[in-house]
Structure 1
Amino acid sequence: MTLSSIRKVYQGIADRRQMFRMFDRHAQRPHRFEDDAAPLYAGEWFELAESEHDYMFEVLPPLFMRGEIFAMREFLTGSVTSIFFTLKIDGQFRYFHGYCDLSDKISPTRMRDAIVEREMGPIRAMTRDERLEHIWSSTHDDYRGYAGERWSEPERGKRTVLFYGGSRGATLLDRLTDHEISAKLPVHLRYLPAALAA
């Protein structure tokens, strides 16, 4: 279950509760303490409120600060840590969190550029992948998980969500139909146009 690239994983501005849930949104993955989780987390980002950004700044002295960026001193896994951004977009200061792999020295800059490009684009649009990531991020832990032994070998370890309707039950996240995706999204996100993938 390897994810890659820089990707927005939550639509809207995360409050403190949601922010902490998002920090470890892969906590239920199989073999949590045996595998290298860096590819899962590296590249994930979401927006948060100024108060949450400032709260995190005050938790520990930052590992480093560069203009609009600061990094958390504690690493999530390997060389992946939290990076917080204060970015001026369309004349407004906005605040973001992302996981960067600091073994690549330019990963914070690359993430900053990707966030600015995405947020300067069609904000009121979402790609299919952004819709799936939002569903995963906003679904309670009791209603999401990973395919286990009852699934076929190639499906094991993939993300699942519980889907009510008929006898379906849990289904693979990436196999949700457009209709099922729409049903699982909050009303204000259901009918957004599709954004072109970055």
Structure 2
Amino acid sequence: MSTHPPFRKVFEGIATREQMFALFNRHSDTPGVDPLSGMPYASEWFEIEAGEYHFMLGLLPPLFQRTGMFGMSEYKAGNITSVFFAIRIRGRERWYHGFCDLTDKRSPDAMRAAIIAHETGAVDSMTREEKLEAIWSATHADFRGIAGETNPDAWPPEHHGKRTIPTYVAEQGTTLKLLEDMTDEEIDSRMPAVRARSRRGAGNDAEPS
């Protein structure tokens, strides 16, 4: 059984600044939940304007920052914090906010992949990067890895920190491979299962496409 978080889009359209701040506190008056735990917010996401992304980036020193992503140093509650994404989808830059549970350090990457999968529908017009993100998201956490994390000698130093995934290679069987090194044929062979999983998961998303 999959333990993938039930990522949920909670607002249709692009949130204004006022709407964004309202969504930050959308569970404050929800009966029967404990907003102080942060858990009601975990895995929720919505689209924002570029201005709100940059406004929040300048508000506080980020907890972490890398290309197209940063996390807020002020936690919502517990281990739940806001993560902001700049994602190019079909040639157009778009911006998103999501609440990630950082007890799972891969949560921001999984959130990003889930947003891409939702916004593209995993259709044939997906770019190579979008397909790789969708494959990563659809792969069970037990089979996703980080090169050099548990066995540094197994990977050259320049590959440490990159994502790995089991891949079938002719005459070698199933072997670990860098996600970024998957061939187009290997990607295409995985996409039918990714699409099927995306369709099954859509029923659990608030505001599905």
Q: Report TM bin, short chain.
A: 0.5 to 0.7
Please name the residue that 1:71 is paired with: 71
Which 4+ runs in 1 deviate beyond 6 A?
A: none
> Paired residue for 2:144?
none
The alignment partner of 1:75 has SS state of coil
1:39 Cα shift? 2.5
User: What TM-score, normalized by structure 1, do the two folds share?
Assistant: 0.58
- The TM-score normalised by the length of structure 2 is 0.55
Matches within 5 A, 1:37-186: 37-121=37-121, 133=206
Whole-Å separation in 1 of the counterparts to 2:17 and 2:37: 24
What percentage of residue pairs aligned between the two structures are identical?
Answer: 43
User: 2:12 corresponds to which residue?
Assistant: 11
Q: Are residues 35 and 43 of structure 1, via their aligned partners in 2, closer, same or farther at CA, if it must alter by over 3 Å?
A: closer
Cα pair distance change 1:11/1:35, threshold 3 Å: closer
Aligned length: 127
Q: SS at the partner of 2:105?
A: coil
Distance 1:19 1:111 in 2: 18
Distance 2:31 2:88 in 1: 39
Contact kept? 2:39, 2:80, Cα under 8 Å: no
Distance in 2 (CA, whole Å) between partners of 1:5 and 1:35 is 18
Residues 65, 129 of structure 1: alpha-carbon distance in 2 compared, 3 angstrom cutoff: same
Name the CA distance, whole Å, in 2 between partners of 1:12 and 1:94: 12
- Unaligned 5+ residue runs, structure 1? 135-193
Structure-2 separation of matches of 1:129 and 1:102: 22
**RMSD over aligned Cα, in angstroms?**
2.4
CA distance in 2, matches of 1:73, 1:101: 13
> Which has more helix, going by share of residues?
2
Once the two structures are TM-superposed, the CA of residue 36 in structure 1 deviates from its matched residue by 5.5
Shift of 1:37: 3.1
